[in-house]
């Protein structure tokens, strides 16, 4: 019998996706983005499986420390860098590479007395308007970092694309132009592309690419799925059917009773809900796989359970495996039914859901 709610993590799909990215960016180094627990997949098993990645990126220093403590040896960039001197010390101690995006960080570096200088990634705000130096400040800060004895020379140069998933959006070319102008003539490796950048914008490849979502086998583009990009889904979220019951036409199902049987209905109850990270906003009609067949979710998602209309899947039995997304059911499609994006669905899988790492457990 399949276990209750669990997330199968297919490491073979993960390494396939890394290979696919490698073939799309054959002249770039790959910095695999494994922030937020590798988008919910488990940062440590993912990092171990990505032994062929050239570097990793996390958002925060504690995520980097956890990787070092697990024995990960590749380079690790910390995308938010440090806020104070204490966090800078941790970068130095654990050999983590901060992104430098503010004058305050530059001052801290200049006044620090580090045993080991840190490798830094100087960030240009080329139009995202989140982290990074404005064009007017960029070169001056670069000069300061080049003279700073706490910094390994030369600094790497980085920016982030805001709209790379919109293929006809002019913003991306503008960001690429601005970055190109700002870094022209400076030494140091460059990094621009996230997943959408590397899949769709050849000019964004540079020395380092920073794929996140594509590694996990998800398309970053609206209305496309992994298969369209030659990627394979890494996470398959599964549970089991715990009850089946016949209902008469007119019976109302679940909290609020806003889904009402319009025919005699065979109702299935599956053991997964928003307490596991299944989206509460998934609408009636969201597809779910039972015995390889798509059946619709009906009624509201509750904390531990969802209800399914099995009327057209009469062979279903209690104990059957139920797939919520992943193999055979693109998470991109579920995100559309829940008015969200696949990133959110993957990150929100809660600790109650056991990660089962491997090719095909059960």
Ligand X SMILES: *Cc1c(COP(=O)(O)O)cnc(C)c1O
**Binding footprint of ligand X on the chain (CB under 6 A):** 33, 35, 79, 160, 194-195, 210-214, 220
Minimum CB distance to ligand X smaller for 28 or for 307: 28
Q: Which of 94, 123, 245, 255 is catalytic?
A: 255
Interatomic CA distance for residues 77 and 330, integer angstroms: 30
Minimum CB distance to ligand X smaller for 35 or for 91: 35
Residue 351, CB half-sphere, CA atoms under 13 Å: how many? Answer: 2
Q: In the bound complex, what is the minimum distance in angstroms from residue 35's beta carbon to ligand X?
A: 6
- Judged by phi (left if over 0) then psi (alpha if -120 to 50, else beta), residue 292 lies in left
Q: Which of 35, 123, 216, 343 is catalytic?
A: 35
Give backbone dihedrals phi and psi of 33, rounded to 5 degrees, phi first: -90, 115
Alpha helices by DSSP H, the chain: 11-24, 35-40, 43-49, 61-69, 85-94, 103-111, 135-147, 171-183, 195-200, 331-337, 342-347
Would the CA dihedral through 289, 292, 295, 299 be positive or negative?
negative
Residue of minimal Cβ distance to ligand X: 212
Is there a contact between 173 and 127 (Cβ–Cβ < 8 Å)? no
Minimum CB distance to ligand X smaller for 28 or for 195: 195
- Dig out the tokens for 311 from the structure: 């009327």
Q: In the bound complex, what is the minimum distance in angstroms from residue 231's beta carbon to ligand X?
A: 12
Residue in this structure with the two tokens 């992994």, named with its chain if needed:
226
**Coil, helix or strand at residue 146:** helix
Minimum CB distance to ligand X smaller for 74 or for 284: 74
Interatomic CA distance for residues 345 and 68, integer angstroms: 27
Interatomic CA distance for residues 344 and 293, integer angstroms: 25
Nearest partner of 97 among 63, 135, 144, judged by Cα = 63
35 among known catalytic residues: yes
Minimum CB distance to ligand X smaller for 212 or for 217: 212
Minimum CB distance to ligand X smaller for 302 or for 340: 340
Q: In the bound complex, what is the minimum distance in angstroms from residue 284's beta carbon to ligand X?
A: 30
Q: In the bound complex, what is the minimum distance in angstroms from residue 8's beta carbon to ligand X?
A: 21
Contacts of 74-81 with C-beta under 8 Å, sequence gap 24+, read 74/47, 75/31, 75/119, 77/31, 77/121, 79/33, 79/35, 80/131, 81/105, 81/120
Q: In the bound complex, what is the minimum distance in angstroms from residue 50's beta carbon to ligand X?
A: 14
Q: In the bound complex, what is the minimum distance in angstroms from residue 268's beta carbon to ligand X?
A: 34
248 among known catalytic residues: no
Active-site residues: which are they?
Answer: 35, 255
């Amino acid at each position: 019998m399949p276990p209750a709610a669990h997330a199968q993590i297919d490491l073979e799909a993960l390494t396939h996706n890394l290979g696919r990215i490698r073939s799309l960016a054959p002249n770039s180094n790959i910095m695999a983005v494994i922030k937020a627990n590798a988008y919910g997949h488990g940062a440590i098993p993912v990092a171990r499986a990505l032994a062929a990645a050239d570097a990793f990126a996390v958002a925060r220093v504690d995520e980097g420390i956890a990787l070092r403590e697990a024995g990960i040896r590749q380079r690790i960039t910390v995308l938010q860098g440090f806020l104070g001197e204490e966090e800078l010390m941790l970068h130095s101690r654990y050999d983590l590479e901060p992104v430098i995006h503010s004058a305050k960080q530059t001052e801290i570096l200049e006044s620090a007395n580090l045993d080991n200088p840190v490798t830094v990634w100087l960030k240009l705000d080329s139009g995202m308007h989140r982290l990074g130096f404005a064009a007017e400040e960029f070169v001056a800060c670069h000069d300061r970092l080049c003279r700073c004895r706490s910094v390994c020379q030369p600094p790497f140069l980085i920016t982030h694309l805001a709209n790379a998933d919109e293929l006809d959006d002019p913003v991306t070319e503008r960001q690429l132009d601005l970055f190109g102008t700002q870094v022209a003539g400076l030494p140091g490796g460059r990094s621009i592309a996230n997943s959408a950048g590397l899949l769709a914008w050849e000019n964004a490849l540079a020395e380092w690419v920073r794929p996140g979502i594509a590694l996990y086998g998800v398309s970053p583009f609206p209305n496309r799925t992994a298969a369209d990009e030659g990627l394979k889904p890494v996470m398959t979220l599964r549970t089991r059917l715990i009850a089946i019951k016949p209902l008469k036409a007119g019976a109302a199902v679940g909290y609020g009773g806003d889904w009402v049987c319009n025919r005699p209905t065979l109702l299935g109850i599956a053991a997964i809900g928003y307490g596991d990270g299944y989206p509460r906003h998934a609408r009636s009609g969201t597809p779910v796989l039972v015995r390889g067949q798509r059946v619709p979710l009906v009624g509201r998602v509750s904390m531990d359970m969802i209800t399914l209309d099995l009327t057209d899947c009469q062979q279903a039995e209690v104990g059957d495996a139920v797939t919520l997304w992943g193999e055979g059911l693109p998470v991109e499609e579920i995100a559309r039914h829940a008015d969200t994006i696949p990133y959110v669905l993957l990150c929100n899988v809660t600790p109650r859901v056991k990660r089962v790492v491997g090719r095909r457990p059960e």
